[in-house]
Amino acid sequence: MAGLSDDLRLLADSLVVGVIRLDLELVVRYANPAAHVFAGRPPGTLIGRSLMEAFIDRRIEELAETAGPSGVATGELTLRSAEGLSLVVRARRTADGQVTWLTLEDVSELRRLQRIRSEFVDNLSHELRTPLTNVSLLAETLVRESEAAGEQIPARMRDRINKIEVETGHLVQMVSELLDLARIESGRPMLLLDRVDLGRLAAASVDRLRLFAERQGVQLVVDLPSAGVPPVSGAEERLGQVIINLVHNAVKFSPDGGEVTIRVEDRAPEIVVSVEDRGIGIPRGSQDRVFERFYKVDRARVRGGGTGLGLSIARHVVEGHGGRIWVVSEEGRGSNFSFALPVADPQGTPG
């Protein structure tokens, strides 16, 4: 009746993954000991029960129903039982549709560790942010003062002060990316309530990086349509961070004396923002991968380091706004990172 040979039953009985075999009516015909543990039921008591009776949770049944003939369905859910187990449930139905196999994997410990890791990163970045912001402001002041003092300060010392300012800029950027990552991982939804003028935002973001670019010997050029661009709906601060990440990278990967152009275009029904540099470029094979978390093309060639998070955060934010982000690049010639966002509905409620 269970449809399991003795051999297979022995194997299934020893698994820590829950295994359940359901008939056409989604009634349990076999369940291994792990499945009983997850359901919080004594051994052998699941057979003959419906999934709803077994787990007192509609979602597992819904998942099993979703898997059509030869189909597969996967979902993660937290049981409302005392332990609150997080389970990844996979349903797979046979080609004749008669039998559905369910596997249940307990990922509670993994999720707990991920939560601890993100809380740790969040707390640490918060702690680092205040002293770093102060150091960064002090470094900026030092640069200004040493420039004003001119020849009174030896050139070598001025050069060192400039370097401190640049490196502090990298640290501030890294901490801000780690904080962004923690916010994204916390799963809090992004509120798209602002009406954002991307032209104005691009100009403001570029202004924030002007000093940093100057120190790297890179010139920033902003190219905006004179008539301005229609607004997009979004989270202004997040979109500003995207532009900053892209410009920061473009400067970081540009040679001394390089130029970075930030362009905003009205390409109805979208607004396109692009950041173009004539820096080291990205090899073809890496161009899709640069948007992955922690991915770096080549650790050795970076000046100033980085977390490898900036572009994955940028992609997350842009896609969260219903937009797209992409790169066109040629090694040795430069890169052009662009993102497109839909123009806000004129009838839409402004933020």
Residue 282 in the binding site for ligand ADP (CB under 6 A): yes
Q: Is 308 in the site for ligand ADP (CB under 6 A)?
A: yes
Residue type (1 letter), 213: A
Q: How far is the CB of 288 from ligand ADP (least distance, A)?
A: 11
Q: How many residues bind ligand ADP (CB under 6 A)?
A: 22
Q: Which is nearer to ligand ADP, 66 or 136 (CB)?
A: 136
Q: Which is nearer to ligand ADP, 41 or 303 (CB)?
A: 303
Please state the closest distance from residue 202 (CB atom) to ligand ADP, in A: 16
Given candidates 169, 231, 240, 310, which one binds ligand ADP under the rule CB under 6 A? 310
Kindly tell me which residue out of 89, 280, 318, 344 binds ligand ADP, with binding defined by CB under 6 A: 280
Q: Are strands 72-78 and 28-31 parallel, antiparallel or unpaired?
A: unpaired
DSSP string, 118-164: HHHHHHHHHHHHHHHHHHHHHHHHHHHHHHHHGGGS-HHHHHHHHHH
Q: How far apart are CA 46 and CA 65, in angstroms?
A: 19
The residue from 22, 229, 309, 318 that contacts ligand ADP (CB under 6 A) is 309
Binder among 175, 279, 323, 344 for ligand ADP (CB under 6 A): 279
Residue from 85, 213, 235, 290 touching ligand ADP (CB under 6 A): that is 290
The CA R_g of the chain, rounded to the nearest whole Å, is 27
**DSSP string of 188-209?**
PPPP--EEE-HHHHHHHHHHHH
Closer residue to ligand ADP, CB minimum distance, 35 or 244:
244
Q: Binding ligand ADP by CB under 6 A: which of 216, 241, 274, 335?
A: 335
Whether a cis peptide bond, with omega within 30° of 0, leads into 350 is no
Dihedral sign, CA of 55, 56, 60, 61? positive
Q: How far is the CB of 100 from ligand ADP (least distance, A)?
A: 42
CA–CA separation, 58 vs 72, rounded Å?
18
Instruction: Determine contact, residues 294/174, Cβ cutoff 8 Å.
Output: no
**Residue 130 phi, psi (nearest 5):** -65, -55
Q: How many CB atoms lie within 10 A of CB 140?
A: 16
Distance CA 142, CA 150 (A): 12
Residue nearest to ligand ADP (CB): 306
Write down the least CB distance from residue 204 to ligand ADP, Å: 20
Q: Does 61 bind ligand ADP (CB under 6 A)?
A: no
Closest CB to ligand ADP among residues 175, 229: 175
Which of 311, 340, 341, 344 binds ligand ADP (CB under 6 A)? It is: 311
- Asked if 341 is part of the footprint of ligand ADP (rule: CB under 6 A), the reply reads no
Q: Which 213-272 positions form the footprint of ligand ADP (CB under 6 A)? A: 245, 249-250, 253
Q: 164-202 burial string, b = 16+ CB within 10 Å, else e?
A: bbbebbbebbbbbbbbbbbebeeeeeeebebebbbbebb
**DSSP class of 16:** S
Contacting residue, 306, 317, 325, 344, with ligand ADP by CB under 6 A: 306
> Residues interacting with ligand ADP, by CB under 6 A?
245, 249-250, 253, 277, 279-282, 290, 295-297, 302, 306-312, 335
